[in-house]
Amino acid sequence: MTPIDKITGSQLMRLWGVPSWPDIDGDYLLWNGVGIFVCLDFGTHVDLHMAMKPGERHRCRDAVSDVLTLIGRREVHAPIRIEHRQVCNLARKFGFKETWRGVVEYIDDTKGELIMMTRSANEWNN
């Protein structure tokens, strides 16, 4: 994992699949040049956002394993856009459970369905 700046990280998030990603503060981590993670620490939990370079999504399992090891035994929330719902299957393999689903308004004023996957601090099966 290589820490990168917010501007570069935000651009990669948008380029690799999260078009409405805003330039927000967080820990931006580049994984092997093909995956971008953004960790937002809220004290009680960490919000985890990710995007993978097209053609490299087969490496998601290794990337998620590495970032979860880095986060450690913390509660993790992973919001997943409905158009990427297949990511929920990957999240379940790491102990995440669906805790909410609904329509939200994104920062670019579009609306879409979002799935919230949550892993408790007690889950540790990566």
pLDDT tens digits for range 45-104 = 999 999 999 999 999 999 999 999 999 999 999 999 999 999 999 999 999 999 999 999
Higher pLDDT, 12 or 122: 12
> Using one digit for the tens of pLDDT, what is the confidence trace for 93-108?
999 999 999 999 988 8
Both tokens assigned to 15: 């380029």
pLDDT at position 124, please? 66
CA distance 108 to 26: 19
User: CA distances (Å), 101 to each of 82, 87, 88, 95, 123, in order?
Assistant: 9, 14, 12, 18, 21
Residue 86, classed as helix, strand or coil, is: coil
The domain spans of the chain are: 2-119
pLDDT over 70, % of the chain:
98
pLDDT at 63: 98
Which CATH code, of 3.40.630.30, 2.40.70.10, 3.90.1150.10, 1.20.140.10, is assigned to 2-119?
3.40.630.30
First and final C-alpha spacing in the chain: 17
The structure tokens listed for 112 are 């879409």
Amino acid at 117: M
109 pLDDT band, cuts 50/70/90, is: confident
